[in-house]
Amino acid sequence: MLAVTARACLAIGLFTGYGIASRIAETTASRQTDSSSASASSQASAADRSGSKPDAEQELPQDPALDEMKLVLIGLLNTLDTAIARLQEGTDNFAAQLDTHRNELKRTLTLNDLKHLGAELVHQVETMYSTNAQYREQLEEANTLVRKQQHDLETLQLKTGTDFLTNVANRSAYNEHMIEMMDITRRYENVFPLVVLDIDHFKKVNDSHGHSAGDSVLRDVAKVLSDCSRASDFLARYGGEEFVYILPETKSEQAALIGEKFRKLIEAATFKHADSEIPVTISCGVATVIPGDETSEELFARADAALYKAKERGRNRIEISESETP
């Protein structure tokens, strides 16, 4: 089914010129391979550490949002399969007619036979153009439905609190967690630092290796960060190539050391896509919440400003918010 879906996406991309379908086709194969190997590796290591069965053998709690997500994905696959089936049917019919005419030309034909065959070919070419116009209209409708279903998936992603691509928490989950942390700070004056991490020169990765390579790098970076995170900490993908990391009851200096550990691990890691090895580094900005009237937006702005400073000073480094440095 997934192989047919990839072909369907390519067909929609060719007929409509929209980036959504071609983007899905470009990344389908690599995501299957990357996801399978990453899942097998993470399950095996988790089983070794805890002695428990891999996730595939455990009963997981049912989430209504996930069930709804499954229905949307099934609808998406059915839409694409229907579109490619219509296209394939028309192509097969036209190819069969051309084979018939080739066989006719192998026989001895009169001048009238040739005139009749020529007229038939002209008629079939005109029919093909008319049919293709119908297919383009049908594929345009399918593409519109695909875009709607992708929007539905994005809405469901917010409900689940997980980023589909990287499998870490998403921005919606981060916002909810930050509300809880700020509430604890106001009540008990417990401070915590926020680290904003950004992949350096990420646009160059997409431009040089393609968006599927960029997706692969995002997944791998998220896995490195997740694997070395403390159980009490909170990691999320904020958006694009940017991640956020919350460390409860931790000082800025300690948070900077943890960020430095992340930086070294990313720099030393090997990131591969297809036959290419992609060098990856990250920059980090650290800010600790100020008890009192500071909002989560103001905290993020200070951490983001520190990140910007790290970028200005050459990237692949950590900076602490100026309000916390002597």
Residues labelled as active-site residues:
241
Q: How far apart are CA 105 and CA 95, in angstroms?
A: 16
Q: In the structure encoding, which two tokens stand for residue 231, read together?
A: 């159980």
User: Sheet containing 234-239: which strands, arranged edge to edge?
Assistant: 234-239, 242-246, 193-199, 282-288, 318-320
Task: Identify the helix (H) or strand (E) that includes residue 25.
Answer: helix 19-50
Q: Are strands 242-246 and 276-278 parallel, antiparallel or unpaired?
A: unpaired
Amino acid found at 288:
T
- Those residues whose C-beta lies under 8 Å from the C-beta of residue 166, and which sit 6 or more positions away, are 218, 219, 221, 222, 223, 237
**Residue 271, beta-bridge partner list:** 278
Q: How far apart are CA 225 and CA 198, in angstroms?
A: 12
Q: Which of 232, 235, 252, 253 is nearest to 244 (CA)?
A: 235
With 0-12 CB in 10 A as exposed, 13-18 as middle and 19+ as buried, what is 275? exposed
Q: Specify whether the CB–CB gap between 6 and 29 falls below 8 A.
A: yes
Q: Specify whether the CB–CB gap between 177 and 246 falls below 8 A.
A: yes
Q: How far apart are CA 91 and CA 284, in angstroms?
A: 54
Q: Specify whether the CB–CB gap between 271 and 277 falls below 8 A.
A: yes
Q: How far apart are CA 317 and CA 263, in angstroms?
A: 7
